[in-house]
Amino acid sequence: MIRCPSAWSRAFLAATLVLTPLAAQRGATHPDFLSAVRCGDCHSAVESANALWNATGDDVSPYTLWRGTMMANAFRDPYWRAQVSKEVAANPEKRAEIEGLCITCHSPIAHHRARHAGGHADSIEALLKDELAQEGVSCTVCHQARPDGFGTPATFGGKLDVRPDGVIWGPFEEPAIGPMLAQTGYTPRHGPHLRDAGLCASCHTLHTSHVPGGAPFPEQSPFLEWQNSRYAVAGGEHARTCQQCHMPEQGTMKIARNPGGFDFNIEDRSGVRGHAFVGGNAFMLDLMRKNHKELGMKAPGELLKRVARATRQQLATRTATIAVQDAEVKDGRLEFAVKVTNETGHKLPTGYPARRAWLRVLVRRGNQVLFQSGAFGDDGRLAGAAKEHGLPHFDVIESPEQVQVYELVAHDVAAAPTTQLTRMATRGKDNRLLPHGWLDDGPNVGDTAPTGLGDDADFEAGADLVHYRVKLEGASGAPLTIVAWFLYQPVPPVWVDALRDVDTEECKRFVRMYDAADKTPETLALTVKILE
């Protein structure tokens, strides 16, 4: 009969595993990369151990949180798959180049494994049979990355210095070597660079050069934006890294437990950060959860729902503020300004160029609506806007057709707006809200300076002020109410429209899933002002 170890035996085994000389514990030889499932043998929470539960009894283990993220599902992401297939369909002779570029960050295990072997990653079609490659941004990618070149063009575009040398880097000093070495063959070492924004910068800084003779196009630049902000000033009052905002602190706890289900005899660590990688794409997490079986999702739906919930919490409470200012009635017209403030460490929105945010402003007298700009339909489209993609930047808004949309609109070589990544040549419009502390003589201005603002003097680092002028008609007497929302969409309808006529299974699948999804935009901020 096999018996569970007694409490005394468990304590003895845990202590022995940490203290036994390393030479006696070498059991497994390390592969280049290890499945996150294996990491979860020790870095997941179980009822019989205290490790990786927070103070309110929540499972905050790295493996559990990571499974429900966009990072873990970067390869399975149906929007990414559709976009890649669209680009390949338009440029079939460049399939290997396009897929190779995208796989670098969406399946980094496949990329670096091939690089170590002196070759190139397999095609997406081939990787569909490779479970390890489908783990997206997995544990042994980031935790094998060395800091060489962090925060410089040498590592941008996913070019991390990941080496197959059997070393796993972690953020805590003096790691207990025995358990990890015995279980995986990897040797843990202290790597303070795991807390460095330059680690995230590798895949979240992407320049593309598809236009012959053209300058590289800054497709994604959150890190470059952050560098030119008050949050990047080391030792400053507002200093924050990517990890400090996107990996919420979980408290003090043991960071691993024995695969047998009991605690290692290791010290508690303080300032443990959750691997939820809370970003800005709750919409896609919901879509993947609702199409779980068809997409072959490995994470339970409840974990996708949990990370989507955390994403919406961050979007609604730590992303932006909004205020109505200087409201007054004169000469039969209501005049006021709406100030929207960016509370993030980069532009808002940022990242993938599809994302947009906008102001919805409503004026009513009693129950009578007198004016509305920025309303939306069930299909996610802006009401009354004849041409959504490329609306100009506004300083003054006087009619419902005028909507202040904060976005990056890329132009092709003919100066026409495009959603085709391989045709993006210039930034025709980029009025995304700047971070606080952005300077026009600071770093990375060429890639991050706003464009298409006209003569708007109220657009400044960290905020924008938009002026509204509304003619007052109808009954008087009831108080005027101004309601202003700051709304956000990670996948606007116009970007999906570009997929509708593409004859690939990936595009057809995503369009079908998108059309069935709830397209209500996220509310980043809301304010109400009543004029008596």
CB 383 within 8 A of CB 360: no
Share of the chain above pLDDT 70, in %: 94
Is the Cα dihedral 284, 290, 294, 295 positive or negative?
positive
Predicted model pTM: 0.94
Question: For residue 475, what pLDDT is reported?
Answer: 61
For Cα atoms 92, 98, 101, give the angle at the middle one, nearest 5 degrees.
170
Question: For residue 136, what pLDDT is reported?
Answer: 97
Question: For residue 465, what pLDDT is reported?
Answer: 98
Question: For residue 267, what pLDDT is reported?
Answer: 95
CB 53 within 8 A of CB 43: no
Residue 369 has φ and ψ, to the nearest 5°, of -80, 120
CB 84 within 8 A of CB 99: yes
What DSSP string runs through 317-386? HSSEEEEEEEEEEETTEEEEEEEEEE-SSS-BS-SSTT-EEEEEEEEEETTEEEEEES-B-TTSPBTT-S
The beta-strand segments (E) located in 415-455 are 426-430
CATH 2.60.40.10 maps onto the chain at 318-531
pLDDT averaged per 10 residues, the chain (length 532): 38 42 36 93 98 98 98 98 98 96 97 95 96 96 97 97 95 96 94 98 94 89 98 97 98 97 96 98 98 98 98 98 97 96 98 98 94 97 88 97 97 95 96 98 98 97 98 83 98 98 98 98 98 88
- Cα–Cα distance, 288 to 301 (Å, whole number): 9
The encoded tokens of residue 248 equal 């919420």
CATH of 318-531, one of 2.40.37.10, 2.60.40.10, 3.20.19.10, 3.40.50.2300: 2.60.40.10
In DSSP terms, 525 is beta-bridged to: 486
Residue 67 has φ and ψ, to the nearest 5°, of -60, -30
Secondary structure class of 494 (helix, strand, coil): helix
The encoded tokens of residue 284 equal 């896609």
- Cα–Cα distance, 427 to 408 (Å, whole number): 7
What DSSP string runs through 241-265? -HHHHHS-EEEEE-S-B-TTSSB-S
